[in-house]
Every structure is written in structure tokens, then in C-alpha cells.
Amino acid sequence: MTESLPATAVVRVSRGTFDPSRFDEVDAMNTRTSEYLIPAIKRLPGLIHYYAGVSPEGSAVNISVWESDEHAAQMGQLKEMVVDARGESEAAGVTFAPIVNYPVNWTI
């Protein structure tokens, strides 16, 4: 069954890279930051889905689906994300690429 999304839905993609030898540190940091990020992100209106993962190959990703670009933009103002989690990530050696919002064209 295909999920029904608003015509204005966007996917927000945040990618980071790190030295694979620091995987355990980055993975532990990702789990630790989830303790305060999950409740903060859940409070934001317009959230449909959120996924976070860390690869032993040296990359991390946060992918979220929002009802609109305006809803996704809230993440850029969320203190727990832009100050707290970003600071912990950078301390663990994660370097971030620019965040991109993609309008959803189709789903399965």
C-alpha cells in the first residue's frame, strides 16, 4: 500500500562523515543524543517520519519526512539539534555536508 503524503511533503537529508576508526565513538554519541533529540523533534509540528543511522564505513545520516518545507525548516532552529547534538557530533569527529530538503515526487 502506498502511503499518502501531503502534496507539499519534503524529505530532509543531513549527512556527515567521520574517520571509520571512530565508529564506536560516533555510534555511541548517536545513541546518547537520541535521548534528548527524540522528545524535542517529536514536539515539532509537521513531522511524518524520522530516521537516523551510523555506518561503520564512516558516514552518518539523519533523514526526516515533513508535511512541508516550512515544517522541515524548524530543524534549523531546534537548539537540541543545532547546538547540542551538532556540538557532540563535531567533538566525535563528524563533518557535515550542507542539509538539503527534497520535495517528494513519489513513494512506494
Residue 3 has pLDDT above 90, yes or no: no
Structural domain including 85 reads 10-103
Q: How many structural domains are present in the chain? A: 1
Confirm whether 1 is domain-assigned. Answer: no
Per-residue CA distances from 30 to 8, 67, 94, 97, 103 (Å): 29, 25, 11, 17, 26
**The CATH number of the domain where 45 resides is what?**
3.30.70.100
Confirm whether 5 is domain-assigned. Answer: no
Question: Once rounded to an integer, what is the mean pLDDT over residues 34-50?
Answer: 97
Confirm whether 66 is domain-assigned. Answer: yes
Question: Once rounded to an integer, what is the mean pLDDT over residues 30-43?
Answer: 97
Confirm whether 27 is domain-assigned. Answer: yes
| pTM of the entire predicted model | 0.92
